[in-house]
Amino acid sequence: MPNTQQYPNGAVQLDHTVVHASDRQLSAEFLAVLLGLEVGAPFGPFLPVDLGNGVTLDYYAMADEPIQPQHYAFLVPDKRFDAVIARLEAVGVTYYADPHHTEPGHINRLFGGRGAYFADPDGHNMEIMTRPYVRPRR
């Protein structure tokens, strides 16, 4: 029988997702360094980055196939947002206020928070934001 504490109110939760990368080590370390996280121990063909809420991004090397860029959004505390922007600037990675990367060096202020987008080594569109999106209710 499952531990009901893992599933509050019977909620479905994301456990992990696979991120395709041409170099799993490079991509996992890139994200971990920028977000102030750690790369975990390899798990089979996967190299995990633990996001701290029970979810991992499991980097998987696809060296012989083109990588189809995806979008990954990270909710970060205000203080960590400033640190991520500083790290992006320190390593020369351009960040943008918009998902289409037309406003370089700027952040957005959506939903009363701050946000920015940047590309990882394989072109995945990474987003950091300090407030979750306000979604319409049905």
pLDDT digits (tens, 9 = 90+) for 5-33: 566 677 899 999 999 999 999 999 999 99
Residue 46 predicted with pLDDT over 90 = yes
Spatial neighbors of 62 by CB under 8 A, at least 6 apart, are: 20, 21, 22
Cα separation of 22 and 121, whole Å? 9
For the chain, what percentages of helix, strand and coil (3-state, to nearest 5) are there?
25, 25, 50
pLDDT digits (tens, 9 = 90+) for 62-97: 988 999 999 999 999 999 999 999 999 999 999 999
Domains of the chain, start order: 4-129 (3.10.180.10)
The reported pLDDT for the residue numbered 6 is: 66
Length of the chain: 138
